[in-house]
Amino acid sequence: MAWLPALGLALLMATPPQDSPRLRTLLANGTAILVERFAGAKVLTVQVFAGARGVQETPETHGHRHLLEHLILRGKRGDLDRRLERLGIFFTGRTHRDALQLEFIGRPNQLDAMLSAVQELLDPPSFDEATIARELAVMREEFALVPDHQRLSRTAWQAAYGVSGLDPFGTEESIAQATSAKLRELHLRMFHPGNVVVVVAGDVEIQGATAKVQPIVEDRGSDAELPTLPLREGKPSREEAPDAFGEARGAIVSGLGEATVATLCAAYGIAMWVENAYVTYTPSATGGLVIVGRTDANNALGSVIEELTEGDEALMFAPAKELAKGWLREQLAAPTSAASLRGLLMVQSASLRPETLLESVDSVGWTSFRQAIARFKQDQAAIAVGTRR
């Protein structure tokens, strides 16, 4: 999944996030629980994150986590989606490079039903080969519908990071190598207690909601040790994306420090400067890309970035920081987006908080902003150029 914040006046005028009461609980087995109360919220979300430690993508296995996401959404009896839909609960999944995310959205009084489904998904599954084959057919249709911004993004990641930048979406060829035994083993490693974060956000009583989540996850154990996620080391490069229109410039960033926050600000400045541009960034503690792109053919994104002057950058500086803060505030203002951002950070490290990123924006100075702009230029960036005709 990619974060695709909208640009414009709405972000500049975004109100500061409410200081919602939250409770973070770290269990002895390594699982983390976060409950955040949004008083008066009309929706309740329960989100489960399974980290990528121990299940990193390889040329042979990339896309297997994506396939497993599809399969576990079916539940033990293959009808979990229909059972939840009858209750009015929306249920979806996303496969990020750093985590698998499963999301339930319902009404504030449906916590028990959602947690029952969470319990079902945490239990080791068993899939027969016929079920896997049917899901592969569904995924082939999904491959045909991949939007251009995602095609450009995966090309930029591959250009910058090679094997360590493999798209978790996978390919038809790599996913076809999955078997029932491999997927069951993948589930055991992916949902290792130390890899799991459960987030509840909505109009709930914090202590009570935590007490309901805890018995579902506290008795799960594993003898396996989780490895540390390696830091990604990227390099400037350029690759063509023959299946896409447009161009994407990926600034290579390491971790979640001030340089990365400055780069996010710079991305918003460029997107403000370039008509119809978008920003894509998924926070990663192990390194990644902040991407600015356009998905129309023969666009001038690259030439505009290369021709930016110091005066242009000076005009961008203040509004770019406000746009970055606006995006972060917008994410934290609603239960579903707040749970997504908090969970994605916590599954990488339980101590990571989006407020730290928000506070870092204010410390971005003129020099670091200009250095960040330079990361989008051709001698430093990972560039994907669409060549589809």
Determine, yes or no, domain membership for 228.
no
Mean pLDDT of 166-183: 91
Q: What is the pLDDT of residues 309-320, one digit of tens each?
A: 999 999 999 999
Stated length of the chain:
389
With a cut of 90, say whether residue 225 has pLDDT above it: no
Total count of domains within the chain: 2
Give the integer Cα–Cα distance in Å for 202 and 139. Answer: 32
Specify the pLDDT at position 75: 85
Indicate whether 229 belongs to any domain: no
pLDDT tier for residue 13 given thresholds of 50, 70 and 90: very low
Q: Closest Cα partner for 248 from 280, 294, 297?
A: 294
In single-letter form, the type of residue at position 53 comes to R
- Residue 178 pairs in a beta bridge with none
Angle among Cα 124, 337, 324 to the nearest 5 degrees reads 130
- Of the candidate ranges 169-173, 302-306, 331-335, the one whose mean pLDDT is the lowest: 169-173
**157 domain-assigned:** yes
Average pLDDT over residues 267-289: 94
User: What distance in Å separates the CA atoms of residue 39 and residue 21, rounded to the nearest whole number?
Assistant: 9
Range of the domain at 130: 18-217
Domain match, 323 and 284 both: yes
Residues 24 and 114 in one domain: yes
Contact of 30 with 194, CB cutoff 8 Å:
yes
Cα–Cα distance list, 376 to 7, 49, 161, 256, 273 (Å): 19, 31, 16, 18, 13
Please give the backbone phi and psi of residue 20, each rounded to the nearest 5 degrees, phi first. Answer: -70, 140
Look at residues 321, 324, 327, 329 and name the one whose alpha carbon lies nearest to residue 365.
321
230 pLDDT higher than 50: yes
Max avg pLDDT among 53-57, 174-178, 198-202: 198-202
| pLDDT higher than 70, residue 113 | yes
Q: Please report whether residue 279 resides in a domain.
A: yes
**More confident: 229 or 40:** 40
- Residues 35, 113 within the same domain: yes
Q: Are residues 261 and 140 in the same domain?
A: no
Task: Flag the least confident range among 93-102, 132-141, 152-161.
Answer: 132-141
Confidence band for 125, pLDDT divided at 50, 70 and 90? confident
Clarify whether residues 103 and 199 are in a common domain.
Answer: yes
- How high is the pLDDT of residue 7? 45
Domain annotation covers residue 230: no
* CA dist., res. 190 & res. 52, Å (int): 7
26 and 150 share one domain: yes
In this structure, the answer to whether residues 169 and 247 fall within a common structural domain is no
CB-count burial class (<10 Å; 0-12, 13-18, 19+) for 309: exposed
pLDDT given for residue 149 in this prediction: 94
Q: What's the CATH code of the domain at 32?
A: 3.30.830.10
Note the pLDDT of residue 57.
86
Same domain membership, residue 177 and residue 89:
yes
- Helix (H) / strand (E) element for 44: namely strand 44-51
Mean pLDDT, range 380-384, rounded to an integer: 97
Cα separation of 104 and 94, whole Å?
A: 12
pLDDT of 298: 64
pLDDT in tens, 64-100: 999 999 999 888 888 898 899 999 999 999 999 999 9
Residues 120 and 76 in one domain: yes
Q: For residue 1, is it within any domain?
A: no
For residue 108, is it within any domain?
yes
Mean per-residue pLDDT, 115-119: 95
DSSP 8-state symbol, 225? P
Residues 80 and 209 in one domain: yes
Please tell me whether residues 262 and 303 are part of one structural domain. yes
Q: Are residues 62 and 186 in the same domain?
A: yes
pLDDT band at 18 (very low <50, low <70, confident <90, very high): low
Q: How far apart are CA 58 and CA 47, in angstroms?
A: 26
Check residue 169 and report its DSSP letter: T
- Separation of first and last alpha carbons in the chain: 26
Residue 169 lies in a domain: yes
